[in-house]
Amino acid sequence: MSTSIDVRSSFFIVTGGAGFLGRYVINELRVKGCAESQIIVPRSAQYNLTQLDAVQRLYAIAKVRAEGRPIVVIHLAAKVGGIGANRENPGKFFYDNLIMGVHMIEEGRRAGVAKFVCVGTVCAYPKFTPVPFREDDLWNGYPEETNAPYGIAKKALLVQLQSYRQQYGFNGIYLLPTNLYGPGDNFDPASSHVIPALIKKCVEAVNSGADHIDVWGTGSASRDFLYAPDCARAIVMATERYDGAEPVNIGAHREITIRELATLIAELTGFRGELRWDASKPDGQPRRCLDTTRAKELFGFVATTDFREGLLETIKSYRAEAALPSHR
C-alpha cells in the first residue's frame, strides 16, 4: 500500500471544512495545489453526518465529482465545546461524535476511498497521563471526567480504523491534536474553549472599564496550545506522507498553566484589573503537554508559530470581528 498522497491529483471530502480548523485545512490544501473543484465540504444543513443515508449520499456525490481521482477523507467534523458544554451535553457529545465517525469510516470503506484521515482529540488521554503525553499511554486509564464521553467516542474511532486496517486493508490514520487556538476561533461563552473565553472577557472588560474578570478553576491546570494554521499544516503533511496504524500526537510541546495563560492574555489585551478565580468550577485535566516526537519522525511536522505572536493575532482577529477598538 502506497504511503504517498498527491494532493494535486486527489479529490477531498473535508467534513467540518467550514469550521474553525477546517477553514485552515482547506487553505493548506489549496496552497499545496488542490483546486476548489477537487474539494467537497459537506454542510450540516445538507448532510447530517449522524444519519446513515446522508453519509451514503455524500459518498455517492463525491464519487461522481471525483471523476476517477482517488478520494481522500479528512474527518474533522465534531460536536465540541469547553468544560461547561461537555458537562451539560455528555450524551450528545458521545453519540454525535461516535456515530458520525462510525458512519464516515464504514461507508468510506464501502466506497473504496484511498485514504481516511481521522482527527481525534487530546481529551482521549487518561486523566493522569504522565507529561509529556506519549501515544503509548493512550489506553492506560480513564479520561478526565468532564470530557470523558467526548474523548472516549473519538478514541473508539481509532479502534475502528485499526481493526479495518487489519481486516480490510483500509488506509486510515489517526491524529491527536492538542488544544487549538487562533483567528476565527469560537468566542461564544456557552461553548468556547479557554483561550477565546479569556480573550473575550479581557477585551470586554477593557472596553467597559470593569475592574475584574471571573475565571473558572484554580489556575493550576496546564495545557499545550497549538496555533490552528500549524495544526492544519500537520494534518495535510500526515495526509501526504503518513500511512500507519499508530496514532500520532499533534502539538507544540509547550506547557503553560491556566494562571500563566490568563496573566499573559490580560497583558496582551491591556486588561489591568483583577483575575478572580472561581475554585468551585472544575479545572479539567490536571496537566496536558504532548510528546511530538512521532510527528516529527514520521512526517516532519514541527510547530513554528510563537505562542505570544499567535495570541496577538487571535486577539486582533476577535477585535476585528467584534468591531472593537485595539488597546493602545
**Which 3 state secondary structure label does DSSP give 254?**
coil
Distance in angstroms (rounded) separating the CA atoms of residues 258 and 214: 13
Distance in angstroms (rounded) separating the CA atoms of residues 314 and 230: 14
> Which residue in this structure is represented by grid cell 481509532?
158
- Catalytic, 168? Answer no
Q: What are the CA-CA distances from residue 277 to residues 84, 128, 214, 262, 281 (Å)?
A: 16, 23, 6, 10, 9
Distance in angstroms (rounded) separating the CA atoms of residues 120 and 151: 8
Cα dihedral across residues 4, 19, 110, 58: positive or negative: negative
Tell me which of 24, 47, 59, 150 is the catalytic residue. 150
Q: What is the 3-state secondary structure (H, E, C) of 12-69?
A: EEEECCCCHHHHHHHHHHHHCCCCHHHEECCCCCCCCCCCHHHHHHHHHHHHHHHCCC
**For the packed helices 258-269 and 307-322, what is the interaxial angle rounded to 10 degrees?**
60
DSSP notation for 239-251? HHH---SS-EEE-
- Which distant-in-sequence residues (6+ apart) come within 8 Å of 4 by Cβ? 240, 241
State the alpha helices, DSSP H only, in 209-275: 228-241, 258-269
State the alpha helices, DSSP H only, in 132-227: 148-168, 194-208
Q: Could you give the residue numbers annotated as active site?
A: 150
